[in-house]
Each structure stands twice: as structure tokens, then as C-alpha cells.
Amino acid sequence: MFNLFNQEKITIIFLLIVIIIAFGIILFRNFNFEENFTINPPVNSLEDNSTVRIEIPPVIIHITGAVKSPGVYQLKSTDRVIDAVKIAGGATEEANLDAVNLAAILRDGQKIIIPYRISKNSIAENNESIYKNIEEMYSSSNTDKININTANASTLQTLPGIGPVLSERIIEYRNQNGLFGIIDDIKDVSGIGEKKFEGIKELICVQ
Amino acid sequence: MSSNNKYNTIRPLAIILFLYIIGTVFGKFVNINLIFLFIILVLLLVISLISFLKQWDITTALLFLIIILIGMFNFNLNSKPIGANHIINFVEDKKLTIIGTVLDRENYPEQEKISLKVKVSEIEREDQNIRAKGLMLVNIYTGNCPYEYEYGDVLKIQGRLVKPISQNNFREFSYELYLAQKRIFVYTNIWQQKDVQKIGEERVNLLVSFSLSIRNQIKNIIGQLLNPPGNFLLIGMLLGEKTFIPPEIKEVFIESGIMHILAVSGLHVGIIAVALFIFFNSLHLPKKIKMILVVLILIMYASITGFRPSVVRATIMFSLLISGKLINRNRNLYISLFLAAFLILLINPLILYDAGFLLSFMVTFFIIYLSPIFQELFSKTITLIRYPLSISVAAWLGIFPLSAYFFNKVSLISIITNIFIVPLAGIAVILGFIIFFLGLISIPLASLIANIDYYILMLITYLAKLFSSLPFSFVYVAQPLIFSFGGNIFL
């Protein structure tokens, strides 16, 4: 077995001491022995630990239609459409709340339209016929455009680049997040990118 | 290797490197508690210190044992996430809200993917926030992103954490190892834009943000002044960013054996160092200031290129050689090479499995070690061609086994191609830097140089095409048997 010179040994020992000290620092910084990482107190005592608290970003929405005081309001991003309706003075008597997803989470810049009941006489009309009525109402102005808020799967599939899968996704998105405020919102549906949107934006409308 | 006194510092360094690598390789199979191993290391170090003072015979053996153990320790320290609040401990089968800072971004245009390396700081749950740490990868597949996430952006990410699948079959690409080399152990895929929100900004490191801005400026100026594919080639040569280079050009470069000019390598560092020395010499700066400036600029360049292993190797080597000259030590290429390898592997032992690292070190070692021998062999040939030829042959011998192992393809023509193309690439790189600096002052002046550089780049591509189309320019090889055995153990 070969042996090292004394000078070499000293150099190596010095090198190893430096390396081991460095490892020690890394090791002890990464192992939190006192478990300091643990959970900060629940939200109801937020004031105690302001450093870890996360500011909820505000959203600004525009609510119109069958509400008592329509207008632009600022809410929290965790709020739902029902909160927006409440802050706008509540729904009027003619409001058709069945046609909106009141549980949808608000998005910044969203426009929420609470639809009116089409005819006061037929209160017991089911949703589908209401949709049909709405469609008729707007179809006069946008004859050749497809309303992405009301169209069913087969109508959506007439759009270029939208197949059965994407149309399902659009409807699912609508059910989860409420109606589309502007046509650009359709890009939030996964699978519809800028390119697809460019192709269909002339053919679609909202409301 | 001659073991006269002049070289006496090489021997231990090579042995240290060798033992350390053995340690890291075996560290994969040894699963010891890190704190326990650390205590053993400290104890052994104390014993070896005593043994050294008492001049016992076991000192050398003890030191070697410590080095192997350090290798094992370091591999385990780096290959596994540590700490109870590491992000990996929060992997579950539902969406989580994670808050973290972007450290790095990479675009994959052909996959329509953007990958962000995110440093996790917090995990948001329904009623509480948990302080977490560790890195994660965020793959964003939303197509055209309206907002470019940059270094330092604080993001709120909603996604399901996934652990990368480990390699099932031998030699299959291991996403787990690939990510682990970057100390990433979890990733998440994002399909909807609303799942990633920017909630703030944090400037983490001045050097990194400064180099990123320079990197972007280089890309802007060159992308603007040269026609494609010249601009993509030049960006690849200056920054090592190959994402936009057309695949057919890449193929030609691989087949003619000159892909290394597109991976920022020691060649680039050498070119920059030489150019800087010429520049500073003309300014008549004092020797010491000149050398310190060169080292600083080289570190800057390594940072701009994102600290790729080959650039780090070359930068460490050059810095060691230059500083060796400063303290009037006889410069020694082997020492700087081994020390560079040792330092890189000490910082991240998993780099050992990186093809770029292995290629860089093997080629440099073969060039240093074999090219003087070949120079004597070729002594009868013309002096003009002797030097480049011997380097090219030595480099090829180093690349051959690794190329066969990693790519199953060996370029035979590369010995000749490199003699022609390396000087051309050198000129293209120098002109590239001139374009950048001129572009900062005046765009028309820079576009003049850009036109010249464009023709040089086209000449390189043309030569590469020409050489790769020759018969037997490259051959497909089966994986060398000995390497499969070795590979089975190592990987």
C-alpha cells in the first residue's frame, strides 16, 4: 500500500475538514430539529401571524340584469356569484336565478348578467325552454353567431376545430364556472388556445 | 504518469477524485441515516488527525476511507429530499395551492410547453398555510402564454403534485434522475391559465437577474440582426440554447461530429479568455488587475449560460490556471482538471451521470494527456497541420466510447471536420460577441458584422452537410459490452 507524504496528508486533512464543516452546515440547516415549519394558526386568528398570511387579491366585477342596484363592485377572489348578487342589493322579482350558476367563483373583470324571466305567466317553465327563449331573444341580433353560453354540444361542434371532446369541455367549464362574460373567456377552457380562438372568434358571441 | 517531484501533487488529487467517485456510486446502494454518517465522519477525521500527529501508519488508509464516506454522504445528501417540510411530503391525489418563486424558465416550442423551476415557500390549505421548502417543476401547457414568467416572479400555483416515474428499463430515459440532477423531486402539469397567477415579485439574486437580462439582450440583438437559421445557430453557439435550431441542422451537426460547438464548452471559454487578454493588453492594464478582470468576466459568462457543467469546468480550470500564474506557481493542467471535476462533483454528485459533464471531462483529459503523444507521432507531417490534427484525434478517442454509449452513433469524420470547423466556429463566436457589443451602441454597425457572421455560419453548415454526406462519415454502433456492464452498475 502506498503512502502519502506528510505535506500531502496535511493538505488532505485540511481539505476534508473544510468539506465536512460545509456539509455540517448544510445538514443542520436543512434538518429542522425543532419542527419550526409547522402550521401557522387558522385563519380566524390571522392577526397573530401577519407574516405568513396571504392577502386575498380583490376582483372587480360588473353585475347587471335583474338585480336591484347593478354596477361595478369590488369583491374578494374567493367570493361566489351569490355574493355578487347580494352586494348588488339582491335579485329583483323578475330575476331568473335558475339560469345562473350562483356557486361559480368570481373572476377579475367578469361581467355577470342576471337574466330576467321571459314571461311572468309561465313561471313553471323549465330551464331548457328559458335557454331557448334567451337564444331566440339574441338570435335576432347575432343571426349567424353561436352563443357559447347557451349552445349545446352539437351546436358547438359546428365551429371549426371544436370536436366532441372540446365541446364537452366547454359545457363542463360553463357548468363549473358560470356563463362566459366575454368571448375571450373561452380561452380558459383547456385545449382552446390562441390559435383555435383566432379561428372561431368571428363565429361566436356571448348572451 | 511520471512521478517526479514536479508532478507530486497530481497523484493524490487523482486518487481523491477516484475514491470520491467510488463513494458516490456506492452511495446509491447504501442507505444510512445522514446524521449518523456525519457523526462517523467527524469521529474518523479526529482519529486521523491524532494518527497523523502520532505518525501512525494508518493515516493514509483512514483519509481514503473518509473520502469514500464523504462521497456516499454527499450522494445521499443530494439525491434525496431532506427535511420534514419538503414539498415532496405534500404529494397527494388532489389539487394543492402552492406559492413559490420562479428560479428558471425553459421553453420547449415543439411540445408547446414552458417549464418553470419554482422554489416553494408556502402551501395554502383551506384554513392554514404551511411553510414548505424545496424545488418543484411547473410544466405549463396552455399554448400561447399571455404573460412570460420571469426569474423572481412569485406565483400562486394550483396543481396536483406528481413524483417523476423512475426508470423501469435499463437505459430508458429516466425523468427522475434528470430532475434529481437539478434537485427537483416533484412536478406538476398546468393545463389552464387560471391555475397560475402571479402575485408578486422578488429579486432573489442580483448576479442571476443581471445575467438573465444580458442573456435576453444577446438573444434580442442577434435574433433581430441575423436571418434564420443563422440567428438560431449563433444563439446556440453563444448561449448553448439549442431549442430553436431546426432539427435537420442538429442532425447534420451530430453526424459530422461538431455538435459540441453548439453546446457552450471550454472552447468558448478559451476564446473569450484569449480575446479578453488581447483586449486588456491593448489597454496596458497591470497584470494582476487584468487577470482578476478576466476571471470575473468568465464567471459572469458561466452565469449567463446557466452554469452548464462544461462551462463551469472550463471556467474553474481557467481560473485555477490564471490564479496559479498570479501566485507564480507552475501551472499544471491535470491539477486544474481534477480539481474542477472534484469541485463540480462536490457541489452536485449526480452530475456524474450527465452526458455533457462526462464528455467535457473525458475529452479534456484525452486532449491534455494524449495530444502531446500524438504530436510526436505525427512529427513527420507538416507543422501547420500537426497540432490541430493531434488534438482532434485525441478528442475523438475520448468521445468515441461515450458517444457509442449515449447515442449509439459514432462520427468517424469528426477528426477531419473539427480541424476545419473549430477555427471557423471560433471566428463566428468572436464576431457574435462583437455583434452584441456593437448592437448595444449602434444597430446598423452591428448589422454589418452580422452579415459577415451569417456567411461564416452558413459556411459551417455547408461544410457540416458536405462532411456528413460522405460515405462512412458516421456509423451506428451497438453499445459496447463492457459499458453495458458498467452502465448497469453505474446507472
Candidates A7, A15, A19, A166: best to mutate against B (most CBs of B within 10 A) is A19
Instruction: Point out the least confidently predicted range of B86-90, B398-402, B411-415, B481-485.
Output: B481-485
Report the pLDDT value the prediction gives residue A44, as an integer from 0 to 100: 43
The residues in B 90-119 lying below 8 A from A, measured between CB atoms, are 99, 112
Q: Assess if residue A169 is contained within a domain.
A: yes
For residue A194, the chain B residues in CB contact (below 8 A) are 143-144
Report the pLDDT value the prediction gives residue A144, as an integer from 0 to 100: 65
Whether B440 and chain A come into contact, CB under 8 Å, resolves to no
pLDDT tens-digit map of B318-330: 888 887 777 766 5
> Between chains, do B41 and A20 touch, taking CB under 8 Å as contact?
yes
> Between chains, do A42 and B132 touch, taking CB under 8 Å as contact?
no
> Between chains, do B70 and A20 touch, taking CB under 8 Å as contact?
yes
Where in the sequence is the domain holding A175, given as residue range(s)? 122-207
> Between chains, do A9 and B49 touch, taking CB under 8 Å as contact?
no
pLDDT tens-digit map of B250-304: 888 888 888 888 877 777 888 888 888 888 888 888 888 888 888 898 898 888 8
Report the pLDDT value the prediction gives residue A50, as an integer from 0 to 100: 42
- A110-114, A195-199, B413-417, B460-464, range with greatest mean pLDDT: B460-464
- With CA atoms as reference, the chain A residue closest to B74 would be A23
For residue A54, count other CB atoms closer than 10 A to its CB. 14
Whether B51 and chain A come into contact, CB under 8 Å, resolves to no
Q: Assess if residue A183 is contained within a domain.
A: yes
Rounded to a whole number, what is the distance in Å from the CA of B113 to chain A's nearest CA?
13
- With CA atoms as reference, the chain B residue closest to A189 would be B192
Whether B77 and chain A come into contact, CB under 8 Å, resolves to yes
CB pairs under 8 A between A and B: 115
**Is pLDDT at A41 greater than 60 in this prediction?**
no
pLDDT tens-digit map of A133-179: 555 555 444 456 777 777 777 788 888 778 888 888 888 888 777 77
Report the pLDDT value the prediction gives residue A53, as an integer from 0 to 100: 46
Q: Assess if residue A21 is contained within a domain.
A: no
pLDDT tens-digit map of B107-120: 777 777 888 889 88
**CATH architecture for the domain at B87-204:** Beta Barrel (2.40)
Instruction: Point out the least confidently predicted range of A135-139, A192-196, B177-181.
Output: A135-139
pLDDT tens-digit map of B233-252: 888 888 888 777 888 888 88
For residue A52, the chain B residues in CB contact (below 8 A) are 122, 129, 131
> Between chains, do B131 and A52 touch, taking CB under 8 Å as contact?
yes
Whether B74 and chain A come into contact, CB under 8 Å, resolves to yes
> Between chains, do B142 and A193 touch, taking CB under 8 Å as contact?
yes
For residue A9, the chain B residues in CB contact (below 8 A) are 52, 59-60, 63
**Is pLDDT at B347 greater than 80 in this prediction?**
yes
Whether B63 and chain A come into contact, CB under 8 Å, resolves to yes
> Between chains, do B67 and A16 touch, taking CB under 8 Å as contact?
yes
CATH number at residue A140: 1.10.150.310
Q: Assess if residue A87 is contained within a domain.
A: no
ipTM: 0.74
Whether B85 and chain A come into contact, CB under 8 Å, resolves to yes
**Is pLDDT at B483 greater than 60 in this prediction?**
no
The residues in B 409-438 lying below 8 A from A, measured between CB atoms, are none
Whether B392 and chain A come into contact, CB under 8 Å, resolves to no
> Between chains, do A16 and B45 touch, taking CB under 8 Å as contact?
yes
Whether B209 and chain A come into contact, CB under 8 Å, resolves to no
Confidence of residue B28 (pLDDT cuts 50, 70, 90): confident
Report the pLDDT value the prediction gives residue A35, as an integer from 0 to 100: 53
Rounded to a whole number, what is the distance in Å from the CA of B433 to chain A's nearest CA?
36
